[in-house]
Amino acid sequence: MATLKAIRRRIASVRNIQQITNAMRMVSAARLRRAQEAAEAARPYAEKLEAVLHNLAGQSQTLVHPLLTKREEAKIDLMLYTSDRGLCGSFNSSLIREAEAFINAHPAQEVTISCVGRRGFDYFRRRQAPMAEEHINLGGKYTSALAHDIGLRMTERFLSGESDGFYILYARFRSALVQVPTLDQVLPIVPQEQDDADAVSLDYLYEPTAQGLLSRLLTRYVDMLLYRAMLESVASEHGARMTAMENATNNAVEMIDTLTLDMNRARQADITRELLEIVATGESLK
């Protein structure tokens, strides 16, 4: 059995860890609220813009645009959203597994990785995967300007033929306990298929013309998808970290209780041994 001094030192160490994890939990909880509000506020605009553009893309017989051109995917761009820091449970590992599954599902294609977040970048850099660009050490401070810059470069790669498809992989926020890895195709824009049972075709009136509106909105649509993925990823990261730190704090409390019980047992054993020694000494002096 460990000595009292060693157990006390272990309890002090675990208590310090508990204070750190509890502080990180509270910080993530405060940041999660703002990040969740930002992600949820962006969803209605993103969904409506997506619906309008898919409706436009469905008019393929009258509308033509290079970003609507679907071709055989020999080269694919995949943008992976992870965090810069760890201590957030399985948040990063689940996204990296999904990215590897995507690469393994396209063995005949050349998949080029672009990373937002250090964890994904470090993982694929160590494995010498083809990489186009990285955005790391931003501390989760993603802006619409950054999304616009990324969108311009990825669109240019698609138009120039450097890639035949552009996908993004991020964690969609549902709650602090649930973050769903989500894969979205950004380019080319493909019309959504509707079932005949619930297909209610909306006939929009476009002014001045559908073709002119399509050209203007396509760039904004790409930027919107990238920025929405950033907001969802930040909210998911804080939710995962808050949950992980809460579990770590609870585990520390349980460990302190167990160590305290061990310390009391060790102290009782020392007292019992000293009493036995006193009694044995008294008996030997008679």
pLDDT in tens, 3-56: 888 889 999 999 999 999 999 999 999 999 999 999 999 989 888 888 777 777
d(CA 250, CA 159): 52
d(CA 250, CA 232): 27
Structure tokens at 101: 């599954």
Catalytic residue among 88, 231, 245, 259: 88
Confidence of residue 196 (pLDDT cuts 50, 70, 90): very low
Domain boundaries, the chain: 22-191+202-243
The CATH number given to 22-191+202-243 is 3.40.1380.10
d(CA 49, CA 274): 79
Confidence of residue 63 (pLDDT cuts 50, 70, 90): low
Tell me which residue of 97, 221, 88 sits closest to 155, measured CA to CA: 221
- Is 88 catalytic? The answer is yes
Which residues sit opposite 271 in a β-bridge?
none
Q: Is the pLDDT of residue 75 over 80?
A: yes
Give the global pTM. Answer: 0.85
